[in-house]
A = this chain, B = another copy of it.
Amino acid sequence: MSTSPRYQRRKEDRPAEITAAAFETFAEKGYANAKVADVARRAGVSKGLLYVYFKTKEELFKAVVRSVVIPRVNALTEAAVSDAESAEAFIRGPLRQFMKALPGSPIAIVIKLMITEGSRHPDLVDFYWDNVASRGLDALRALIARGVRGGEFRETRYSEYPHLIMAPAVVAVLFELIFKNQRVNSDELIDSHIDILLENLSVSGRAET
């Protein structure tokens, strides 16, 4: 009920609040069309304060990518290499869920931003490769290796190109980015892919479907 105080004095939270607001703004508008003033307004701070924490719009952008990416990659990659469940169970469970969630996740936005602005920020691209793409592919490779080692899977090209495992999720991401998923049922797409994938990996050969 009271008018919000002019000064909030929340030093520790500010950077996170600002990157969160910036993420939303970049997600909606893209980098070039996002106004620093919008970000500040959305974060509930003045432009001046934003510039205290981030020296330029570019710095802010890089901080956003890092802040979005880092906390999200660990969970899945760690689960992939744990022995808590069989490789197939992991693929049918957590991995499928991850792939279905991908188009609506912040990662999709980051992919968009990397496509748009990557060429102007090679260091960010490297960062993204090292911390997301590369680690994700390694985790998938380790997952397949575990399945093969455990007698669940046969040897396949997927070991070499785990990209093929994620490819349909990438399609789903693109459809989301371009068509806002008006044009494909991502969940069914992923389900179909998982079926095909496991049939292919399975040592027991083709199920009679």
Q: Which A positions have Cβ atoms within 8 angstroms of B?
A: 30, 32-33, 111-112, 114-116, 118, 125, 128-129, 133-134, 155-158, 160-161, 163-164, 166-168, 170-171, 174, 177-179, 183-184, 188-189, 192-193, 195-196, 199-200, 205-206, 209
A170 to B172, CA, bound (A): 10
A156 to B133, CA, bound (A): 30
* Chain A interface SS verdict (over half): helix
A200 to B158, CA, bound (A): 14
Residue of B nearest to A117 (CB): B30
Q: Which of A116, A160, A205 has the largest count of B CB atoms less than 10 A from its CB?
A: A116
Copies in the complex: 4
A174 touches B125 (CB 8 A): no
B-chain residues with CB within 8 Å of residue A164 when the two chains form the complex: 167-168, 171, 189, 192-193, 196
A7 to B77, CA, bound (A): 54
A167 to B171, CA, bound (A): 6
Q: Which 9 A-B pairs have the closest CB atoms?
A: A32-B32, A167-B167, A157-B192, A167-B171, A167-B168, A115-B177, A116-B116, A114-B178, A161-B192
Which of B128, B157, B200 touches A178 (beta carbons < 8 Å)?
B128
A5 to B174, CA, bound (A): 44
* Besides A112-B116, A125-B178, 16 other A-B contacts (C-beta < 8 A): A32-B32, A115-B115, A115-B178, A125-B179, A128-B178, A157-B192, A160-B188, A163-B184, A163-B189, A164-B168, A164-B192, A164-B196, A167-B170, A170-B171, A200-B200, A205-B205
B-chain residues with CB within 8 Å of residue A184 when the two chains form the complex: 163
